[in-house]
Structures are given as C-alpha cells and as structure tokens.
Amino acid sequence: MRKIALVGIGKIAQDQHVPSISSSSEWRLSATVSRHGRVDGVENFVQIEDLLAARPDIGVVSLCLPPVPRFAAACAALRAGRHVMLEKPPGATIAEVHALHDLALAQGVTLFASWHSRAAQAVAAAKVWLSGREIRGGHIIWREDVRKWHPGQDWIFAAGGMGVFDPGINALSILTEILPQPARVLSAELDFPANRQAPIAARLSLSQGISADFDFRQEGPQTWDMEFETDSGTLALRMGGNVLEINGQPAGGQMSIMGEYPALYAHMAELVARSACDVDLSPLVLVADAFMLGRRNSVKEFEF
C-alpha cells in the first residue's frame, strides 16, 4: 500500500476522499493537513510545508483545498518530489494549471487533474454509444443546493471561487468526455448576487445545439441531467452521469454517486506507478470562455 496525505479536510474530503482511501487496497491515509478538520487516528499538520519536511516517507499528496490557495500547496508538493492529485476544478486559472503540469514533468512526478463526474458509472457507456453519431441538439440541467454541498463556505462566491460553475464544471467534464466533436461556448448569461463576486446561476449556449442551465439555488431533490438528440436516437444521462437511458429506456448504471471517487483513486494509483500525468483542462476552458463571453446580470443578494 502507498502512503498518501490529504490536504484540506472539509466536507468533500470527509464525505468522499476519506472513505475512498480507507476502502482502497492501494492506499493508506498516513497524514492530513488542515487548520480545523481532523481524521481520527491520523497525524495532522497545520501547514503543508510541515508535512513535507516531517514525512518524507509520504510520496503522494491529494489536494482538497479551494482553488485559489491550491496552487501554492501544489507547487510545494511537486518541488518536494511528491506526486499530486488535484480535486476539481484543478485551479483558479488555466495558466496556473499549465505551470503545475510543466513543474510535474520537470520533476518526473505525477500530476492528476481529477474530474470525479467522468468516473460516474454510465459515462463510459454513453461515450461509446455517441461515438460516430451526429449530435443534433442537447440540454443540460445541473441544479443543486449550495447550502447542502458548501454550507457556510463563503469562498465559493468570492473571486476565483467559481460559484455555480463549481458544480457546473462537473457537467462540462462529462460533456467534454463523451461528445464525438468538441463543443464551444457561443454565448452565456451569468447571474451574480449583488453582494458576491461569483455567479449563482448561469445559462450557456454551446455549439451543436446544446444548452446548459446551472443553478445553485435548488431546493429539495437535486437535478443532474443531460439529454442529447442524435441522428439515430436519444441519449440521457441522469444522476450526475450514473444512470443511462437510450431512447427513453433504462440502459445501465445505478442511482448512486458513491463510485466516483474510488475510481479516481484507482486511476491515481495507476498514474503513480508510471510517474505519468493526466491533465485535461477542456472543462475549465469552457468555464473560462463562459466568463469571457458571459453577459452579467445582478440578482438578489445571497447569504448562507
């Protein structure tokens, strides 16, 4: 088993990363870095520099920090010769992720920009079915409750926090994985709360007749759906890519999101074994293009 350190012990780390590492036969959680969070029975450090100095035996670091502070932590780990896994989105800007990739290559270590929704149970089958088919239109509805998934986390609505694109990029990560031809952003409309620096909702028009509707104000059941019309039938992915429908009929998957992170850590183990990198920025490019082209609307102030 390889030793791994988890940096940033917030909700996503507790809900997904810790259970995935604990259930894996390939990993042992040997340390954490957090100012406030803790994992029972695991040594904790307040600063990543302290971890890197004290634990040279830990060769892999998984970063669950918010996007803005993540770059400095990733640089420190890569310069110390550690393999690094990045929670999505991989960074606050495209340029900084390119810089991390260059650093990883220079150091001869792994950098994995993970996209957990690509590991959803029906995504691979959807990609196979769409291969060679013509997309004639599609619609994405990705609406969830920010209070449920990011309770009190003001950083997500600060500059660089991405707002509704934090979940929306999950949909775009699936889209960029399964489409036979790449999509482009044609136009966008972004709703910014009057007291915030990142959007709470967004509507995108993409090439191939695809539209996307992202909203962080959903209450009750969450909605993570996408549907596509092709020259030979329709395909739908539901439950965040975990359930597949072909021409309105069930075609595979399960009503659960709990298999995504174990798949990410299995892939990370494969990359580390080869000191290889996996850094695909196409979902982040679409988000950046939406910000560049987006028309900004001011909407009601938002408070947690």
Distance CA 141, CA 115 (A): 18
C-alpha–C-alpha distance, residues 289 and 302, integer Å: 25
Q: Is 88 a catalytic residue?
A: yes
Rounded to whole angstroms, the Cα distance separating 228 from 179 reads 10
Q: How many CB atoms lie within 10 A of CB 247?
A: 10
Q: What is the DSSP letter of 145?
A: B
Q: Are 250 and 121 in contact (CB under 8 A)?
A: no
The active-site residue, picked from 11, 88, 127, 148, is 88
Contact 277, 271 (CB under 8 A): yes
DSSP string computed for 251-264:
EEE-S-STTHHHHH
CB atoms inside a 10 Å sphere around CB 132: 10
- Share of the chain residues as helix, strand and coil, in percent rounded to the nearest 5: 35, 30, 35
DSSP state of 194: T
Residues recognised as catalytic: 88
